[in-house]
Structure 1
Amino acid sequence: MRFTWAAQMSACIVMLAAATANAQGGRFEIEGILLHADNTTCQDCPVTLEAPGGVPVATTLTNGAGSFTFKELKAGTYIIRIRIDGYEEIEQRAEAGVFGSPRGFYALTPRRAAPGAAQGDRVLDVSKSLERYPRDAVEMYKKASKSVEKNKPEEAVQRLEEAIRIAPDFYDAHLSLGKLFRTAGRLDDAEREWIAAKDLNESSAEPLVLLSALYTERGAFDLAVQAGEEAVRRDSRSVPALLNLGLALYQTSQWRRAETVLKMALDLTPDRGPIRLLLANVYLKQRDWDNLRLQLDSYLRENPDGPEREAAETMRRQLDQALAAGGRND
């Protein structure tokens, strides 16, 4: 390999696999993938985009790969809201206008009724029996769930804080309170609650997946790696955990480890597009042109209508041009 060829390749456009905000004439996009707990994608599932204050902006359905896209957005903060019967409601903040932000991966959690609850009652992220907690704390927790349904987040926060005051070891309340803080942009408070949750439940990967994503958003990539590693130790088949860890390893220049982790994720989900593109960037950093080309070709073959197809085609052409300029035509 000649130095000039390597230098030309290093100048190739770097396209982060999960880029979710693409500027087009001052307009932007927000993208995401919706997964079931077993890592299968949710097809034809409704996803709503809201402006701050709960004002609906648009609603769309996921495609066959579980992906959704909101286009032609002004730069700013939005809320992704997903309500599907039988599953916990998802409410997550998303930013439009920040190039290179990770694509959102959203996991559906089956809803479980609390012991003795009516069939129609909804609760927040119940991952184990509530019987161990004081009755007053459980009642406050259930009221917080109804506050969320009524789009009263401040009231929900107060009720969850009261539930935790009564029962400091209330795992589900800590986890849910952290999500509300995250949606409100209170990142330090969200971090505190998720740290408490991961210490209280040493088998659940969810608080660590959330922490890893939070640290990546902050640019605290070493912490993101630590949280991601622990999340994968707890659940080695969690695609969101593997993707978060892979992205954090990429950001810390741990190319080999990122490659290994992302290949694990590649085998666990039918929606491989975002993983292939992130792998392409890993191979670009490693100057592994053959595997870079393989991932780009696989992405283009598997995603004829993929949201990053145009950028992938551009990168593929630049790869061929750089190889030809360096005297390599294979």
Structure 2
Amino acid sequence: MYKRALLALPAVLLACVPAHAQPGAKTGGIRGKIVVPAVGWGERIELLIERQGEVGQVFAVTYTDSLGSYYVDGLPLGSYVLVVKLDGYNEVRERVDLGNPEYGANVPTINIILDRKPPDSEENPSRRNDPNVVDASELRKSYPKKAVEEYEKAQEDARKGSTARALERLRTAVKLAPDFYPARHLLGVVFEQMKRPAEAENEYRLARELNPRFAPPRVSLGRLYLEQAEAREKSETSEKLLQQAIEVLEEAVKLQGSATAHYLLGAAYYKTRRDADAEANLKRSLDLNDGAGPARLVLANVYIRQEQWSAALEHLNAYLKANPNSPDRRQIEEIRDRIMTIQ
């Protein structure tokens, strides 16, 4: 087995790193937030970047964190179009000019608010009766007005990065309505952003218990357990965390088989050497979202471990084609080249 060819697993939660434009720079970046007007949304969102005038030709791909924040760097100065395609929402195409002072010079901030398709629309069958998407108007029928108001304000605070303020509002919301499961889930997300994983886990678990059909806290728990397992790799604790991740992610894919849930479950199976299960879930993730770069890298790892070199090369090449400016491009090219010498 050519173990040295194995890739490091991609991060399961992207961090948004702030950056500043440098005078005379020839490249720049774009940062901002993608706002999804749905209660309980906590999954990463894919953001495609095209060069202006090259419709359908993806120049780069990035992903938001669980609060909708994103950052991409290393783009040559020029005009681009940001593209967001999310099931149940109208496609967004937003132009941005890097290097234009009107847009913030080399590192503009572009916030995108998604517009939901009508729930009964023929184009939006997947959102009908979806327990994972709850309109704010529905919340007001189930929870005290003040609790809902604090929750909505906390969502905005969290998107702006004001985690301390969001935390305060969410604590008020759950004090007024202890069974307010979307607020519990968001409280977990905020705790995780504040590097307080034990409290995040507790809130995710509460949200999971309060609504057995609500998938987002299961996805969040699975991601959290995976991160903790990687931090404690090759220990008994790591094995336990991986099994916990698999348990909640298996629940998540049964409730809402999103690309993210299948990707995380595939990564957990890979870490526990259940390659057949890993392959099936990673392929399903790509079926749901062909641009899911992290899923391609883990799937390539599966094939490398199995010494299926042609399959590994197929996914490495697909990843490189879709992500020409990826910061790990050189590492992936080196691994690809080594594989080509042993086929």
Question: Normalised by the shorter chain, which TM-score bucket?
Answer: 0.5 to 0.7
**1:264 Cα shift?**
0.7
CA distance in 2, matches of 1:40, 1:152: 21
Residue 168 of structure 1, aligned match among 173, 178, 199? 178
Residue type at the aligned position of 1:212: G
Number of the residue aligned with 2:8: 16
CA distance in 1, matches of 2:175, 2:318: 52
**1:211 Cα shift?**
0.7
Question: For the Cα contact (< 8 Å) 2:296–2:319, is it kept in 1?
Answer: yes
SS of the residue aligned with 1:267? helix
Question: For the Cα contact (< 8 Å) 2:34–2:112, is it kept in 1?
Answer: no
Question: For the Cα contact (< 8 Å) 1:86–1:110, is it kept in 2?
Answer: no
State yes or no: 1:208 paired with 2:218. yes
Q: Which 10-residue stretch deviates more, 306-315 or 191-200?
A: 306-315
**1:322 Cα shift?**
2.7
Residue 274 of structure 2, aligned match among 254, 265, 280? 254
State yes or no: 1:298 paired with 2:312. no
State yes or no: 1:309 paired with 2:301. no
Question: For the Cα contact (< 8 Å) 2:35–2:111, is it kept in 1?
Answer: no
Number of the residue aligned with 1:284: 304
CA distance in 2, matches of 1:295, 1:64: 24
Number of the residue aligned with 1:223: 244
Counterparts of residues 125-164 of structure 1 (less than 5 Å): 128-145=138-155, 147-148=157-158, 152-164=162-174
Q: Which 10-residue stretch deviates more, 311-320 or 177-186?
A: 311-320
State yes or no: 1:321 paired with 2:338. no
**1:24-79 Cα deviation digits (max 9, x unpaired):** xxxxxxx9x9898899843459x999xxxxxxxx776997687xxxxxxxxxxxxx
Question: For the Cα contact (< 8 Å) 1:250–1:282, is it kept in 2?
Answer: yes
**1:161 Cα shift?**
1.6
State yes or no: 1:243 paired with 2:235. no
Question: For the Cα contact (< 8 Å) 2:185–2:204, is it kept in 1?
Answer: yes
Counterparts of residues 25-104 of structure 1 (less than 5 Å): 41-43=46-48, 83-86=111-114
Counterparts of residues 180-199 of structure 1 (less than 5 Å): 180-199=190-209
Number of the residue aligned with 2:285: 265
CA distance in 1, matches of 2:189, 2:49: 25
Counterparts of residues 95-114 of structure 1 (less than 5 Å): 112=135, 114=136
Question: Residues 276 and 130 from structure 1, CA distance in 2 versus in 1: closer, same or farther, beyond 3 angstroms?
Answer: same
CA distance in 2, matches of 1:300, 1:263: 18
Question: Residues 167 and 226 from structure 1, CA distance in 2 versus in 1: closer, same or farther, beyond 3 angstroms?
Answer: same
Residue type at the aligned position of 2:222: S
CA distance in 2, matches of 1:305, 1:265: 22
CA distance in 2, matches of 1:297, 1:309: 11
CA distance in 1, matches of 2:301, 2:259: 19
**1:268 Cα shift?**
1.3
Q: Which runs of 4+ in 1 moved over 3 A?
A: 33-45, 58-66, 109-112, 142-152, 297-309
Number of the residue aligned with 1:104: none
**1:266-305 Cα deviation digits (max 9, x unpaired):** 1111314332221110111222233223323433455455
Question: Residues 229 and 111 from structure 1, CA distance in 2 versus in 1: closer, same or farther, beyond 3 angstroms?
Answer: closer
SS of the residue aligned with 2:288? coil
**1:240 Cα shift?**
0.9
Residue type at the aligned position of 1:170: F
CA distance in 2, matches of 1:274, 1:250: 13
Question: For the Cα contact (< 8 Å) 1:17–1:276, is it kept in 2?
Answer: no
Question: Residues 86 and 232 from structure 1, CA distance in 2 versus in 1: closer, same or farther, beyond 3 angstroms?
Answer: same
Question: For the Cα contact (< 8 Å) 1:39–1:239, is it kept in 2?
Answer: no
SS of the residue aligned with 2:142? coil
CA distance in 1, matches of 2:297, 2:83: 15
State yes or no: 1:232 paired with 2:253. yes
Question: Residues 84 and 303 from structure 1, CA distance in 2 versus in 1: closer, same or farther, beyond 3 angstroms?
Answer: closer
SS of the residue aligned with 1:196? helix
Question: For the Cα contact (< 8 Å) 1:179–1:190, is it kept in 2?
Answer: yes
Question: For the Cα contact (< 8 Å) 1:143–1:156, is it kept in 2?
Answer: yes
Question: Residues 205 and 63 from structure 1, CA distance in 2 versus in 1: closer, same or farther, beyond 3 angstroms?
Answer: farther
SS of the residue aligned with 2:151? helix
**Where does the alignment leave 5 or more consecutive residues of structure 1 unmatched?**
1-5, 22-30, 50-57, 67-80, 89-108, 116-127, 324-330
